[in-house]
Structure 1
Amino acid sequence: MWRTSTIALASLALLPSVLGTDILHTNGFSNCKTGTSTVKVNNVDISFDKSTNNVDFDVSGTSTEEQFVTAELIVTAYGIKVYNNTFDPCSDDTKVDQLCPVPEGTFSANGSQAIPSEYLSKIPSIAFSLPDLDGNAQMVLKAKDGTEVACVQSTVSNGKSADVPAVSYVAAAIAAGALAVSLIGAAASGAHPGTSTSSPGFFEVMWWFQGMAMNGMHSVNYPGVYRSFSKNFAFSTGLVSWGGLQTSIDSFRSHTGGNLTNNSYDYLKNATLVYPDGTTTTTTSGIAKRALDLVARQINTSVNGTGAESGNSTSKESHLVQGIQGYVEQLTIPQSNTFITVLVLFAIVILAIVVSILLFKVILEAWALFGKFPKSLTTFRKEYWRIMFQTITNLIFLLYGVWTLYCIFQFTHGDSWAAKVLAGVTFAAFTALLAFYTWKIFSVVRKLKQLEGNAHALFENKETWKKYKLFYENYKRGYWWLFIPAIIYMFAKGCVLAAGDGHGLVQTIGQLAIEAIMLILLLWSRPYQRKSGNWINIIIQIVRVLSVVCILVFVEELGVAQTTKTITGVVLIAVQSGLTAILALLIVINSIISCFKENPHRKRRKAAEKHLSRDLEGDAFLMQPTPTSSPPRHGRKMSEAGGYDRFRALAVSRFGPQREESSEALVTGGADMGKSGYRSVSQGRSDHTGSPPPFSREPRLPDLAFENYRHK
């Protein structure tokens, strides 16, 4: 039996295979027989090593009675049956003492057998190179009368997987780089009103990673390669595998109405996850280690614990999963722990932000006592509370989509009343905060339109800009309102994905409609100030739409062939990986530009100051004529003085016309210079006192009996 069965197992490589260097092996197992069974398999571990041409196996189980059986081995790859063979364990050429007959009680067998050379040539080399093979091996034991007494199935892999920790680290580094470039750009602009950041920014990168993670949460039959790939971006949604944290959350749930029987960290550690298409995976990461530790062994068998060597009788529970549950539990996060996991990590990040800002504030205060720090840090020193609050608001805005997802998932799949209360409170608080900012911005815009006729002060007034820029800083002036569709977009994505869990077709069609509407909105408005921002965000949105179209291929109701699904999964990985690489390249380019390019606002300010200084030095109007200039003629109007014309033109070019002033008013008002009030809606001032802005501080003639001089 074992020789025949192991040859059959190796033959699954007739189609592209899965994981490790020259090794094919089973990965977890599940019982596929419905109802009661007289034979129960507790452990299955079979592997083929190309370098030694051996098949190693380790099988154990229990039987309620002694019985003669026949065994059928079925091997499929990518939905195609590549091997099917029935054999008798009592036959001379397939003799297996442990199954002839199947004994009552426990039994186990482990060992190694060689594969004949004629079968090796049928295994293509591609079987050992492609990651995440969609292969499945199933063994069915039947009684002599044809009654099925046991059924066990296992996924076959080769040691290679698209689930690579290095991918998560690289993605996190890309996000960190985008954050650093965004911070450098903000510091270089000096919080100048109307300044936009370069694309891709931190928000764009994180939302892109979140999108790829959410693409792996649909209740569809993903090919194994894409399921593993999407797992790499779980960190962007707040999911991190942390055993100690999960144990603490389990304890919290157990005291607040939670059921830990089949929904706990300890249970998942010893469970085999079974997906709707029959593929299996384990939650532990010992696959590669087991492959390296495989050695050729002589066959050893035992009955009821006696014999030369007893096999491993440890049993792994079969755990059927799909959708969001399948995504989070492959990270060893029980589905009912999902929201609390994200909440705790969110609280840790908030604490880190608060501590970092307060620590930096203390450093600045100490610096002020012993030295003089740069003027660029003065704003932080004075307004650190505002900066802290806005940083937290930024984080809430960033996570609002996935927060909606996890809160609704907690309401529908959670079992702890305390966790549901926390989900409701935090979701209401986050929504209320974003609604408050929306109301405030609309209130400001309404007042500005009443007083000035437009909302340009959102981008021109420094105080208004500092308060609300996080929502619209990269948009054009006429499209400041697009942050509202962005919030609705995030809410709708999380809501449809969570509420539709278990219904893959509904989820996918809903997500496709949402992504398509957002793409149409971007193509219609092209709202970003920079052309690069428009193109990058439109391309990202196009890839999002195409990604959901690809996921539609995985929907079970459409009946698409497994080979087509696998090809689609590989294409989807290639497209998403390519766009991620482009974003990383653009971040590097932006960082180089930020380091060597002079701040355009500072450059324009210096040029204006230099020009103004040169005009004032040679201005006859200030009674400091240049050597080549002639004194003004008697009765010459002051507006004809060239210096003043140049000064006025410069002021208008920088700040725009303020009000009409005749030359006579300029002369007669010289004595009142600096006393008149000034009022600007853009400046947000309602009083008539204080210094006017720089563009109204025009030169006035001192009171030196100039009128008498004019009429002589």
Structure 2
Amino acid sequence: MWRTSAIGLACLALLPSVLGTDILSTSGVSDCANGTSSSITVNNVSISFDKSSDNITFDASGTSTQDQYVTADLVITAYGVQAYQKSFDPCSRDTYVSQLCPVPAGNFSASGTQQIPSSYATLIPSIAYSLPDLDGTAQLTLKNKGGQTVACVQAGVTNGKTVSLPAVSYVAAVIAAGAAAVSLLGAAAAGAHPGSSTSSPGFFEVMWWFQGLAMNGMHSVNYPTIYRSFAKNFAFSTGIINWAGLQNSIDTFRQHTGGNLTDDNYEYLRNTTLVFSDGTTVKTSTSIAKRALSLFVRDVTTSVNSTSSSSTSTTGTTSTSHLVQGIEAYVEQLTVPQANTFMTVLLIFAILLAIIVVGILLFKVILEAWSLFGKFPKSLTTFRKEYWRVLAQTITSLILLLYGVWTLYCIFQFTHGDSWAAKLLAGLTLGSFTLILAFYVWKIWSMVHKLKKLEGNADALYEKKEIWKKYKLFYENYKRGYWWLFVPAIVYMFAKGCVLAAGDGHGMFQTVGQLIIEALMLIVLLWSRPYNRKSGNWINIIIQIVRVISVVCILIFVEELGIAQTTKTITGVVLIAVQSGLTVILALLIAVNSIITCCKENPHRKRRKAAEKHLSQDIEGDAFLMEPNPYTSSPFGPSKKKSDPAQGYEPVRANAYSRFGPRREDSEEGLVKGAAGMGYSGYRSVSHGRSETDGSPPPPFSREPKLPDLAFEQYRHK
């Protein structure tokens, strides 16, 4: 089957997908001479086969140092297997190509269309036209009559179909926006009550999931073409966005701060073919209209030293090739030069930060104006008074959201960047973000230490409103006994970014390191099940299981293991299916949570109400404690020894003293004065301006009821 497919794969072209459903084509061109000095330099080669017409369309351009006769060797590989190999002489009658017989000295270009027998065209299986991101290469080697290689070019294979689609990125962005809306809806429904939590999956969980998908595509391994294209769809979650104006501005910044723009700038990258470690190629920018036109050119055209041999002429486009892997390969597929990576993320972060700050301040101004001309809802009063706290917490949330990928890009800038200013900014921002998160860790741990010392536990983190408003960002979805889990989560994000960036170029180290980190996090989740809701526990555990499975699959792509390309492709398809399936499930759960959030009471709030009800019942049941306990014996009963103070009146008197303060002197003189004082209606007067010297009673010791000093003990022993 590989041999029948090979004939079709040999007829490949440099044409994008939208031009036909049954077209096989090459994508990009690279030099495969491996440093061998070549007398012929090929700048551009494109060959396409159109099944509907059985036509081969080709376009080639290059330069030659001399006139020379050559032979050509064509090798086609599909999914790592050599599917077709043929040697031919351009001057032979059966394989005559006038432009190459002989190869002229100077600049040359040739394009044309030839028809192949239908018997060969029918051998191409239909799957070759429908499978996305066809994984194959076509290599053409030119040799002189002496058998020496004078030129070698290689191009990737595509049928125009790919899983790298803008629509996928838009849908993922919509899912993230939906998660953010549901999280805000849940917060509004809870009314910002202490102990309230949001439903899973929330905005952070969804964004971290998309970031994980993007980071899975940054390993220095031989990805199947289909999975490499799939991982590109989630680059937006890490701050990588293709924006020409932004990239040109970064290039200018680098040029003035020590950067080398010779072969590392946006314009250069736009006309470069990326060559991956497995030999597949991708052209970062193509002219669809120009290549579409070449399909309809039916006359063979030859141009030597800019002189055309027919009325129809084409000019070859100079193309360069660039070997890439790892993080560099990932970002440059999106036309972001690797040296621009950190500055791209920094500027996107700055834009988001500016939008957030302006939005919050603008809303504050609107509320102030509203308060002058009308009465706004009471629920907005807190925001009006504490907008600076809201602003600070929003910025902290953004830092926490991006901390893992920020660590990744900063370390990558340290090791691959060329601008001293960009490296300085990377160090300052990473240090600042780490210090901010470390400050919150210290504050929360200090608060917990203080609470445990005073109250014996840390429940006040969830119960006291002021503490809750300040620090809930880090632990609001965790159970009370697992509030500390946000610290391992921060370490987890930092470790992932460090291992991936520091191990760039070493796929085995990256993958094994990531597998250890993901497995440890899974163990922590299975052991603690820390989320307040059962749904949160199961969703996050399932997400972590898929992360571990994903890294195991990436381990299959490691070059050192020597796994067959067909196995890698099947693994890539399975991995796409699993990750896409989980993404769809998360989207459905977000829709379900939007309904549940409006109907189901938050468990933290429910427990708080139950505690308040229980407290009110206790207060009502203990209301009699506001009055003194009755005497345990009658004052006129049997006499008791004075040496037994634990009997009779003494316990009651001690209890009364502990509740109502010190007593007046317990003596006959005190009894007379007390009886006389009872005649004054002002005994409970709150006036503090009068004293006992003018006959007025002293101010009360307490507002609570107090027993009169009857001095029963003296009467009983007389």
Taking structure 1 as reference, are residues 395 and 113 closer, same or farther at Cα in structure 2, changes over 3 Å only? Answer: same
Native 8 Å contact 1:136 1:156 kept in 2: yes
- Give a deviation string over 1:566-587, Cα, whole Å, max 9, x none: 0010000000000000000000
- 1:10 corresponds to which of 1, 8, 15: 8
Provide the C-alpha distance between the structure 1 equivalents of 2:612 and 2:438, rounded to a whole number of angstroms. 42
- Give a deviation string over 1:20-49, Cα, whole Å, max 9, x none: 611111111001012221011111111111
Q: What is the CA distance between 1:445 and its match in structure 2?
A: 0.7
Taking structure 1 as reference, are residues 178 and 606 closer, same or farther at Cα in structure 2, changes over 3 Å only? Answer: same
- Give a deviation string over 1:236-276, Cα, whole Å, max 9, x none: 00100000000000000000000000110011011111111
Counterpart of 1:478, as a letter, is G
- Corresponding residue number in structure 1 for 2:668: none
Provide the C-alpha distance between the structure 2 equivalents of 1:545 and 1:252, rounded to a whole number of angstroms. 40
Native 8 Å contact 2:266 2:337 kept in 1: yes
Provide the C-alpha distance between the structure 2 equivalents of 1:231 and 1:289, rounded to a whole number of angstroms. 26
- 2:404 corresponds to which of 401, 406, 413: 401
Within 5 A, what are the aligned runs for 1:172-191? 172-191=173-192
Taking structure 1 as reference, are residues 703 and 71 closer, same or farther at Cα in structure 2, changes over 3 Å only? Answer: closer
Counterpart of 2:546, as a letter, is V
SS at structure 1 position matched to 2:94? helix
Provide the C-alpha distance between the structure 2 equivalents of 1:402 and 1:8, rounded to a whole number of angstroms. 42
Q: What is the CA distance between 1:612 and its match in structure 2?
A: 11
- Give a deviation string over 1:172-209, Cα, whole Å, max 9, x none: 00001001110111111111111111000011000000
Within 5 A, what are the aligned runs for 1:266-665? 266-284=267-285, 290=291, 294-295=295-296, 297-304=298-305, 305-308=307-310, 309-597=312-600
TM-score normalised by L of structure 2: 0.83
1:153 has 2:154 as partner: yes
Q: What is the CA distance between 1:370 and its match in structure 2?
A: 2.2
Counterpart of 1:219, as a letter, is S
- Give a deviation string over 1:380-405, Cα, whole Å, max 9, x none: 11100000000000110111110100
SS at structure 2 position matched to 1:518? helix
Native 8 Å contact 2:193 2:605 kept in 1: no
Q: What is the CA distance between 1:371 and its match in structure 2?
A: 2.1
- Corresponding residue number in structure 2 for 1:52: 53
Native 8 Å contact 1:407 1:424 kept in 2: yes
- Corresponding residue number in structure 1 for 2:22: 22
1:91 has 2:108 as partner: no
Taking structure 1 as reference, are residues 604 and 83 closer, same or farther at Cα in structure 2, changes over 3 Å only? Answer: closer
Native 8 Å contact 1:23 1:291 kept in 2: no
Taking structure 1 as reference, are residues 536 and 703 closer, same or farther at Cα in structure 2, changes over 3 Å only? Answer: closer
Provide the C-alpha distance between the structure 1 equivalents of 2:160 and 2:517, rounded to a whole number of angstroms. 38
- Corresponding residue number in structure 1 for 2:221: 220
SS at structure 2 position matched to 1:151? strand
- Give a deviation string over 1:597-643, Cα, whole Å, max 9, x none: 46778889999999999999x99x99xxxxxxxxxxxx999xxxxxx
Counterpart of 1:62, as a letter, is T
Counterpart of 1:259, as a letter, is N
Counterpart of 1:186, as a letter, is A
User: Please, which moves more after superposition, 588-597 or 353-362?
Assistant: 588-597
- Corresponding residue number in structure 1 for 2:114: 113
Taking structure 1 as reference, are residues 139 and 435 closer, same or farther at Cα in structure 2, changes over 3 Å only? Answer: same
Q: What is the CA distance between 1:300 and its match in structure 2?
A: 1.9
Counterpart of 1:217, as a letter, is M
Provide the C-alpha distance between the structure 1 equivalents of 2:323 and 2:384, rounded to a whole number of angstroms. 55
Native 8 Å contact 1:271 1:282 kept in 2: yes
Q: Which has the larger radius of gyration?
A: 2
Q: What is the CA distance between 1:561 and its match in structure 2?
A: 0.4
Native 8 Å contact 2:660 2:705 kept in 1: no
- Corresponding residue number in structure 2 for 1:632: none
Taking structure 1 as reference, are residues 525 and 615 closer, same or farther at Cα in structure 2, changes over 3 Å only? Answer: closer
Taking structure 1 as reference, are residues 614 and 501 closer, same or farther at Cα in structure 2, changes over 3 Å only? Answer: closer
SS at structure 2 position matched to 1:93? coil
Q: What is the CA distance between 1:295 and its match in structure 2?
A: 2.3
Provide the C-alpha distance between the structure 2 equivalents of 1:111 and 1:7, rounded to a whole number of angstroms. 23
Q: Which runs of 5+ in 1 are unaligned?
A: 1-5, 623-634, 638-661, 671-701, 708-712
- Corresponding residue number in structure 2 for 1:698: none
Taking structure 1 as reference, are residues 533 and 7 closer, same or farther at Cα in structure 2, changes over 3 Å only? Answer: closer
User: Please, which moves more after superposition, 334-343 or 279-288?
Assistant: 279-288
Native 8 Å contact 2:197 2:604 kept in 1: no
Q: What is the CA distance between 1:51 and its match in structure 2?
A: 1.6
Taking structure 1 as reference, are residues 609 and 503 closer, same or farther at Cα in structure 2, changes over 3 Å only? Answer: closer
User: Please, which moves more after superposition, 302-311 or 357-366?
Assistant: 302-311
- Corresponding residue number in structure 2 for 1:100: 101
Q: What is the CA distance between 1:109 and its match in structure 2?
A: 1.4
Q: What is the CA distance between 1:372 and its match in structure 2?
A: 1.9
After the TM superposition, list the runs of 4 or more consecutive aligned residues in structure 1 that deviate by more than 4 angstroms. 6-9, 11-14, 17-20, 285-293, 596-616, 664-670, 702-707
Taking structure 1 as reference, are residues 601 and 214 closer, same or farther at Cα in structure 2, changes over 3 Å only? Answer: closer
Q: What is the CA distance between 1:302 and its match in structure 2?
A: 2.5
Provide the C-alpha distance between the structure 1 equivalents of 2:602 and 2:379, rounded to a whole number of angstroms. 13
SS at structure 1 position matched to 2:141? strand
Provide the C-alpha distance between the structure 1 equivalents of 2:6 and 2:546, rounded to a whole number of angstroms. 41
Please provide the CA RMSD for this pair: 3.2
Native 8 Å contact 2:460 2:467 kept in 1: yes
- Give a deviation string over 1:321-346, Cα, whole Å, max 9, x none: 11000001111111111111100110
Counterpart of 1:26, as a letter, is T
Taking structure 1 as reference, are residues 496 and 87 closer, same or farther at Cα in structure 2, changes over 3 Å only? Answer: same
Taking structure 1 as reference, are residues 178 and 669 closer, same or farther at Cα in structure 2, changes over 3 Å only? Answer: farther
